[in-house]
Amino acid sequence: MIDQIAALNSLRKDLPDAIGWTTMGPCLYHAPAEMVTGETRYTRTQIALYNESDSTLADVKLLYRGNFKFVPLITYSRHEAAVKWEHNAADKELVLKQVPPNEEVDISIYNPRDFEVVQVLVNGRKITDFMTRRALAKAYPTPLRWRIALPVLGILALGALSYTSWQTYSMVKSNMDYERDYSLLSTVPNGFSGCHPYVFDNPPNDSSEKQLERLLKQQNQWMDFILAMNKVSLPGELHLKDRVVLCKSIEKS
């Protein structure tokens, strides 16, 4: 037990920090006419950097390609302070001097020109997709009620799908059985007026064998007609058929 706890703690230590980034856009927006003259339509690309770790990040480098027209707007999401950053235009880098723990940095790029984030580096190491997923999971945790409800809804949906599939299968099978019985009964010659032909399924097992034997004894008065309907000469040949046409007596009113 102690070894398992130690292994779990070691695994947690080996997990990468919950640091990530996402990008959205470019999106079109309109500036108020009172603030600008001429063209009021602008585009903006939004970048979010998440530090959901317990450490302050230093010298976070956002490497990009393309260009942009205006100075980016960079703000903290939680901390009411100015973000210290610089733009290295020659190397196409945005460098954030510090990102506090459990903080999100919002970066707005105005009028981007073929702008695209290539990668984000922390202490010279690339932020991976797995790190971003961890950061987003901590930044936007799933509420407890949804964590309980989603598995339940999944089970209910699976049950509904299974029930619908079974109902569909039953309907299709019933239609196939009806068509098969109709095809078989349509070949039955006209016989006695007191006999109503029907199909008995006779799969190869002891239960069906005994049931067929019992029915044949009960319908012995129709035996000649039963043999004719099944196109056999002897009663023993009926036991070799998978489907046997039998007679049901019609009660006279």
Residue type, 215: L
Instruction: Calculate mean pLDDT across residues 104-126.
Output: 90
Q: What is the pLDDT of residues 186-200, one digit of tens each?
A: 555 555 566 778 888
Q: What is the pLDDT of residue 191?
A: 54
| pLDDT over 90 (residue 86) | yes
Q: What is the CATH number of domain 12-141?
A: 2.60.40.1170
Q: How many CB atoms lie within 10 A of CB 96?
A: 22
Q: What is the pLDDT of residue 10?
A: 46
Q: What is the pLDDT of residue 169?
A: 65
Q: What is the pLDDT of residue 27?
A: 79
Q: What percent of the chain has pLDDT over 70?
A: 74
Contact criterion met (CB below 8 Å) for 109 and 27: no
Q: In what order do the strands lie in the sheet with 93-99?
A: 85-88, 93-99, 57-68, 112-122, 125-126
Q: What is the pLDDT of residue 137?
A: 85
Q: What is the pLDDT of residue 5?
A: 47
Q: What is the pLDDT of residues 231-250, one digit of tens each?
A: 888 888 888 888 888 887 76
Which residues does 113 contact at the CB level (< 8 Å), separation at least 6? 66, 67, 68, 69
| pLDDT over 60 (residue 133) | yes
Which residues does 122 contact at the CB level (< 8 Å), separation at least 6? 17, 19, 57, 60
| pLDDT over 50 (residue 154) | yes
Mean residue pLDDT of the chain comes to 78
Q: What is the pLDDT of residue 217?
A: 86
Residue with tokens 């009620």: 145
Q: What is the pLDDT of residue 24?
A: 82
Q: What is the pLDDT of residues 40-66, one digit of tens each?
A: 677 888 989 999 888 888 899 999 999
Q: What is the pLDDT of residue 85?
A: 93
Q: Which helix (H) or strand (E) holds 163?
A: helix 144-185
Instruction: Calculate mean pLDDT across residues 137-157.
Output: 70
Structure tokens, 118:
């290539």
Q: What is the pLDDT of residue 179?
A: 57
Q: What is the pLDDT of residues 168-222, one digit of tens each?
A: 766 665 556 555 655 555 555 555 566 778 888 888 887 888 888 888 888 888 7
| pLDDT over 50 (residue 3) | yes
Instruction: Calculate mean pLDDT across residues 116-132.
Output: 89
Sequence ranges of the domains in the chain = 12-141, 185-249
Contact criterion met (CB below 8 Å) for 238 and 244: yes
What's the start-to-end Cα distance of the chain, in Å? 81
